[in-house]
Amino acid sequence: MGNTMNYSQRFLIKPGSRVRLSDIDPDFKDKHESKKDALKLIERNDLRLRELQELLYAEHKRSLLICLQAIDTGGKDGTIRHVLGAMNPQGCRVASFRQPTSLERDHDFLWRAYRDVPAKGEVTIFNRSHYEDVLVVRIHDLAPKDIWIKHYEQINNFEKNLSENNTHILKFFLHISKDEQLRRFKERLDDPSKYWKISNADYTERERFGDYMKAFEDMLSKCSTEHAPWFVIPANHKWFRNLAISQIMVEYLEGLHMTFPPPSVDIDQIRKKYHAAKKKA
């Protein structure tokens, strides 16, 4: 990646470490001054991601699960659109975790996550995720503490099981400041094409910003593991968010050393048939 730092290490939450989000600058943009300055790197990463996803799909030995978490307006949809949208939709899909349905509430909290994990060769993006049960559930007192406190270990076991069955997991927390959130709320008010995103809960949830940060810190501290690491991505600058996530994904997928599978037919025989057909054409 040229002179750009290794973002896989720079933004990784090391297993066992205690996270303080106030120590992480959401305005960080490395050496890049603007989107224009970083655009060539972003485009190169997008092209490489398409190539690597094709390898993953063709090899058909493993899958990739990407989890996105953030405060409201943090940029989950934008990440999916601008970074993960580079992938071929034939082998890539998005699962959104909204308020549980009555059917989902009749199962344990991980049931809907198991239902949407990727098959071999697939990439699945969780827009929000099973972590809602240590975030929203905690902050809104939807379950007593002695229930949700157990979810951290259950989540770690769930992710370990996936990892042992060849599902690779990358988890990104999109870190924005409280001031940036307010600016993005204003963007929605000023742009009629974004009115549909506005909800009455936006500002009531904003009053819990500090509570959410504490819950995010616990999530990151307790659930970043060797097999399912968390990365905290400075996301005040949307273009830098896109650069950092795309680069981490490229670095990770290249590290898998994937190869195309051998042909399932006799290539020489197929080539002879091709030349015979060409003569008759």
Share of the chain above pLDDT 90, in %: 80
Is residue 22, in this structure, part of any structural domain at all? yes
Report pLDDT for 195. Answer: 84
Residue 173 contacts residue 216 (beta carbons within 8 Å) = yes
Q: What does 247-266 look like in DSSP terms, one character per residue?
A: HHHHHHHHTT---PPPPSS-
pLDDT in tens, 50-67: 999 999 999 999 999 999
Domain holding 116, by residue range, is 7-280
Model confidence at 147, pLDDT cuts 50, 70, 90, reads very high
Model confidence at 2, pLDDT cuts 50, 70, 90, reads very low
Residue 231 pairs with which residues in a beta bridge? 12, 172
Is residue 239, in this structure, part of any structural domain at all? yes
Residue 70 contacts residue 182 (beta carbons within 8 Å) = no
pLDDT in tens, 126-137: 999 999 999 999
Is residue 2, in this structure, part of any structural domain at all? no
Model confidence at 83, pLDDT cuts 50, 70, 90, reads confident
pLDDT in tens, 24-58: 999 999 999 899 999 999 999 999 999 999 999 99
Q: What does 93-154 look like in DSSP terms, one character per residue?
A: EEEE--SPPHHHHTS-TTHHHHHTPPPTT-EEEEES-GGGGGTHHHHTTSS-HHHHTTHHHH
pTM: 0.94
Q: What's the total number of domains in the chain?
A: 1
Q: Across the chain, what does the average pLDDT equal?
A: 94
Residue 197 has pLDDT above 90, yes or no: no
Is residue 51, in this structure, part of any structural domain at all? yes
Residue 97 has pLDDT above 60, yes or no: yes
**Domain harbouring 77, CATH code:** 3.40.50.300
